[in-house]
Amino acid sequence: MYDAVIIGAGVTGCAAARELSRYRLNICVLEKEEDICAGTSKANSGLVHAGFDAEPGTLKARMNVLGNRKIDALSGELDIPFRRNGAVVLCREGQDEAGLVRLMEQGHKNGVPDLRLLRGEELHRMIPAAADDVKAALLAPGAGIVCPFRMTAGLAENACTNGVEFWMDCPVKRIEKHEDGYCLDTGKGKVFTRCVINAAGVYADVFNNMVSEELLRITPRRGEYLLLDKRAGSFTQRTIFQMPGPMGKGVLITPTIHGNLLVGPTAQDTEDREAVCTTAEGLLKVQKKGMDGIRDLPLHETITSFAGLRAHEDGGDFVIGEAKGAPGFFNAAGIESPGLSAAPAIGCELAEMTATYLKARKNQEFTAVQKNIFSAAQASAEELSLKIRENPAYGNVICRCETVTEGEIIEAIRRKPGARSLDGVKRRTRAGMGRCQSGFCMPKVMEILCRELDLDPLKVTKAGGTSYLLNGYSGKAGGQ
């Protein structure tokens, strides 16, 4: 019997786990994939939105602005790469400039500071990439860029440090209400709990509808992206938005916290909750829309493409709180953009609701600090030399594109919750995220995974499940 079970190990679920570990409770997180950060949280823009886009009075607006305010302290505690680079919304000739004014007024109502309009020489000096037909722009200096992988991992690792259990490859199949809580039928047997936090992304409506009198409906909304090489990373210092439309903020251009350039996403509704494939049509749309109002976008520097799903609820807002007719069942549903920005605030909200329901006491032994994996690429020569003297594995470079060492990969695997696949290593260390996209480092990373996890090479996967990297070689004479 757990006090609280969290369904979903994305950024929202991990934020809730970390904040709930501030209380003396028995908590576990159930994740259907083989790793944390394997759903919506792994495939997004990596933005900390300022908060001017959401309609005043909505949970999206409140959670976005609160999350934005919390990110500075959180990035310090959990060693999360974060920078306030600022964002702009472009208005071109023929577009209604009143739309920018409405966004600015909306932002003021939401409590977003320092918003202002740019025009003329100042606009083109601050946004050199803007085309000649861009006549005005809204500037939001408080917007930022963050590493979504490290943000999720930092929250999960800190939750583990404070006693939270993580169960991977553990899909929830059915939930039953009991007098004293809930029974969750999972891929690893039955789990009993007094409370449930439903942070299941595009599946959150499925679990809500098993127990609640008020049904939810989530439509997965696919977004496709292009990632450009670090040689294109200086194309813009600020995140550039187009005027928003009915399906969201549209295709944006942003530097990433690690120095790449990101262009996307599209917005296409789908019934398939696993539709994370890219399409020729979608990527062509990213290219065309990305060039609207922009000069000389270096699309020839593209090194990969990817797609993610946002959980769009029919009501258009976040659904946060106790489900109707289901005491102790707390939803975090419909967490689409600006979900990453809002996650620190949503985690606090869910933890407070759950702790109040359980009449929980504070955990006096809670520790808020969690260091990131040592990075040879970011270390000074003196720091690296000291680390190599402590452990020579930090001097053995495995991924040359991103300068990731054997020591970092071993550390990523041994941490809790640790990497168990090629993508798990990639998200924690950036091994394989460079220009060659694992072309050279993959065999070495596989070798380290086999050694550390005592795996047969045929069992090493790209991303869990049956995504095996090798096929048909038994390792024995006569094998096929």
Q: Hey, which residues are catalytic here?
A: 49
Instruction: List alpha helices for 275-377, DSSP H.
Output: 280-290, 339-358
Is the distance from CB of 408 to CB of 414 less than 8 angstroms? no
Tell me if residue 256 falls in helix, strand or coil: coil
| CB atoms near residue 327 (< 10 Å) | 13
Structure tokens at 196: 């449930």
Distance CA 78, CA 204 (A): 27
Contacts of 365 (CB under 8 A, 6+ apart): 162
| CB atoms near residue 253 (< 10 Å) | 25
- Phi, psi dihedral angles at 182 (to 5 degrees): -140, 150
Burial pattern 349-358, b for ≥16 Cβ within 10 A else e, equals bbbebbbebb
Query: Comparing C-alpha atoms, which of 268, 289, 248 is closest to residue 47?
Result: 248
Burial pattern 117-141, b for ≥16 Cβ within 10 A else e, equals bbeeeebbeebebbbeebbbbbbbb
The dihedral formed by the CA atoms of 377, 383, 389 and 392, expressed in degrees to the nearest 10: -10
